[in-house]
C-alpha cells in the first residue's frame, strides 16, 4: 500500500464519520463536507491503485515500458 492509497483510505473514513455526525446533528453543511471528503479520499485511493499498477507493469515488462515512454516523449516533442 503506497502513501496515496493510505491517505485516501483515511480521508474516506474521516468523511464517513463527518457525514454521520452531520446526519445525527442535522448539520447539512457538515454532512456535505463529509461526502466531499469521502469522494476525495476514494479518488486519491484510486490514484494510488493506478500508480501501483503502472509500477508493477513496468517491473514485469521493462522493455514495453521503455518503448511507451519513448513514444510519449516523441509525441510531446512533436507537439512542442
Burial class (CB in 10 A: 0-12, 13-18, 19+), 7: middle
**Chain-centre distance for alpha carbon 29:** 24
Owning domain of residue 33: 3-79
pLDDT at 44 exceeding the cut of 90: yes
Tell me what the mean pLDDT of segment 40-67 comes to.
94
pLDDT at 47: 96
Number of domains in the chain: 1
pLDDT at 1 exceeding the cut of 90: no
Q: What is the pTM assigned to this prediction?
A: 0.76
pLDDT tens for residues 17-36?
999 999 999 999 999 999 99
As a whole number of Å, the end-to-end CA separation of the chain is 36
pLDDT at 12: 97
Amino acid at each position: 500500500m503506497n502513501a496515496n492509497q493510505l491517505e485516501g483510505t483515511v480521508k474516506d473514513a474521516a468523511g464517513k464519520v463527518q457525514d454521520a455526525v452531520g446526519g445525527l446533528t442535522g448539520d447539512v453543511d457538515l454532512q456535505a463536507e463529509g461526502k466531499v471528503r469521502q469522494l476525495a479520499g476514494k479518488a486519491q485511493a484510486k490514484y494510488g491503485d493506478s500508480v501501483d499498477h503502472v509500477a508493477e507493469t513496468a517491473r514485469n515488462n521493462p522493455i514495453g515500458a521503455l518503448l511507451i515512454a519513448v513514444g510519449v516523449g516523441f509525441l510531446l516533442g512533436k507537439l512542442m
